[in-house]
Amino acid sequence: MGLKIYINGQILPQEEARISVFDHGLLYGDGVFEGIRAYNGKIFALDQHMDRLYDSAAAISLKIPITKEEMANDIKKTMEANKLTDSYIRLVVTRGVGKLGLDPNKCSTPQIIIITDTIELYSKALYEKGLDIVSVTTIRNHFSALDPKIKSLNYLNNILAKLESIQAGAGEALMLNKDGYVAECAGDNLFILKNNVLLTPPASVGILIGITRNIIMKLAAEMGIPVKEELMTRYDLYIADECFLTGTAAEIIPVVKIDGRTIGNGRPGKITLDLLKRYRDLTKSGF
Ligand code: PMP
């Protein structure tokens, strides 16, 4: 049986959930989205995701026609319609139906789409073995062009990077910014552990401010691990003791190889696994 999809207040069978070919979300990638997860029937980090969605929309001058509370209720209704308690939720807000031509002011009301499904980004075996990642030539968007803080429907920057990593037979693409500083991966934020200090690139290099990233920084601080946002080059990664990626879908995935260099002892790090366990405990208890 197919999924039930929410479009603009209606919950429809997957086959009937359609949007116009004139929607600027399709024509120009003009819109914003969120990837959220629900564990045991509870939406995880809901407020943070709502804030980021509405901030992304504000940054592109898109007024979402319903409140955050209404949006949260609509997500819950869609999950219920699909009888899901554990779910990956894709929330999409497009600019709406318009004319050919860029002008967003010629578009009708924004279209809201909620897909509640399941996702397995990486296999269980990879969490035990660790991921092999490569740095790619596609640089992360410069924030003066399209700020990576905006979770927009325009993901070609990330897709081009992802294509390079697939071509190289690696699990993820490490993106640098225009100055050569480590930014983030195509769909995840990056952390390293060096001399018992947890390091992650600062927001100023041009990254999506990951919600999992923020939670991990808090969890590490609670564990007494110093956390620093620091500029890093690939060299810093190559000499790291541990490395891992964070994201809503991935949670925390260990990295054991970067550009062919073995990280630590080539197995998922101790602190990495500890953080993964604590994060999963948090998803069970709610946040
Ligand atoms: N960076 C990028 C480019 C992403 O698309 C994502 C989300 N998949 C992340 C980082 C991680 O963000 P979050 O922890 O909020 O899912």
Convert 65-80 to b/e letters by CB count within 10 Å (16 or more is b). Answer: eeeeeebbebbbbbbe
Q: Does residue 272 line the site of ligand 1, with CB under 6 A?
A: no
Strands 182-185 and 172-176 turn out to be: antiparallel
Q: Does residue 48 line the site of ligand 1, with CB under 6 A?
A: no
- In terms of Cα–Cα distance, which of 190, 187, 186 is closest to 201? 190
Shared-domain flag, residues 166 and 197 = yes
Q: What is the pLDDT of residue 287?
A: 67
C-alpha–C-alpha distance, residues 24 and 32, integer Å: 11
Shared-domain flag, residues 113 and 8 = yes
Shared-domain flag, residues 132 and 268 = yes
**Stretch (H or E) spanning 32:** strand 31-39
Domain boundary among 117, 138, 153: 117
Shared-domain flag, residues 66 and 150 = no
Chain length of the chain: 287
CB 23 within 8 A of CB 8: no
Shared-domain flag, residues 9 and 103 = yes
Q: What is the pLDDT of residue 121?
A: 85
Single-letter code of the amino acid located at 196: N
Q: Which residue has the least CA distance to atom 11 on ligand 1?
A: 247
Q: Is 63 part of the annotated catalytic residue set? A: no
Shared-domain flag, residues 152 and 63 = no
Strands 42-43 and 261-262 turn out to be: unpaired
* 3-state class (DSSP) for residue 88: strand
Q: Which residue has the least CA distance to atom 5 on ligand 1?
A: 187
Shared-domain flag, residues 249 and 173 = yes
Q: Does residue 130 line the site of ligand 1, with CB under 6 A?
A: no
By residue range, what is the domain housing residue 100? 4-117
* 3-state class (DSSP) for residue 47: helix
Interaxial angle between packed helices 46-59 and 68-81, expressed in degrees from 0 to 180 and rounded to the nearest 10: 120
**Neighbour-count burial of 45, counting CB atoms closer than 10 A to its CB (0-12 exposed, 13-18 middle, 19+ buried):** buried
C-alpha–C-alpha distance, residues 34 and 113, integer Å: 11
Single-letter code of the amino acid located at 131: L
Looking from the CA of residue 184, the nearest atom of ligand 1 is 1
C-alpha–C-alpha distance, residues 55 and 114, integer Å: 18
Shared-domain flag, residues 164 and 216 = yes
Distance 100 CA to ligand 1 centre (A): 31
Domain boundary among 56, 88, 117: 117
pTM to 2 decimal places: 0.97
Query: Domain with 110 in it: what CATH number?
Result: 3.30.470.10
Which of 4, 63, 99, 151 is catalytic? The answer is 151
Query: Domain with 197 in it: what CATH number?
Result: 3.20.10.10
Q: What is the pLDDT of residue 120?
A: 85
Q: How do the pLDDT tens digits run along the chain, 287 residues long? A: 699 999 999 999 999 999 999 999 999 999 999 999 999 999 999 999 999 999 999 999 999 999 999 999 999 999 999 999 999 999 999 999 999 999 999 999 999 999 999 988 899 999 999 999 999 999 999 999 999 999 999 999 999 999 999 999 999 999 999 999 999 999 999 999 999 999 999 999 999 999 999 999 999 999 999 999 999 999 999 999 999 999 999 999 999 999 999 999 999 999 999 999 999 999 998 66
Q: What is the pLDDT of residue 285?
A: 87
Q: Does residue 206 line the site of ligand 1, with CB under 6 A?
A: no
- In terms of Cα–Cα distance, which of 125, 21, 39, 41 is closest to 83? 41
Choose one of 50, 51, 158, 208 to mutate for the ligand 1 pocket test, by most ligand atoms within 8 angstroms of C-beta.
208
Q: Does residue 135 line the site of ligand 1, with CB under 6 A?
A: no
Domain count for the chain? 2
Shared-domain flag, residues 133 and 112 = no
Shared-domain flag, residues 105 and 223 = no
| HEC profile of 139-171 | CCCCCCCCCCCCCECCCHHHHHHHHHHHHCCCC
CB 244 within 8 A of CB 216: no
Convert 159-196 to b/e letters by CB count within 10 Å (16 or more is b). Answer: ebbbebbeebebbbbbbbbeeebbbbbbbbbbbbbbee
Shared-domain flag, residues 141 and 231 = yes
Shared-domain flag, residues 148 and 14 = no
Domain boundary among 95, 117, 139: 117
Choose one of 248, 275, 279, 282 to mutate for the ligand 1 pocket test, by most ligand atoms within 8 angstroms of C-beta.
248
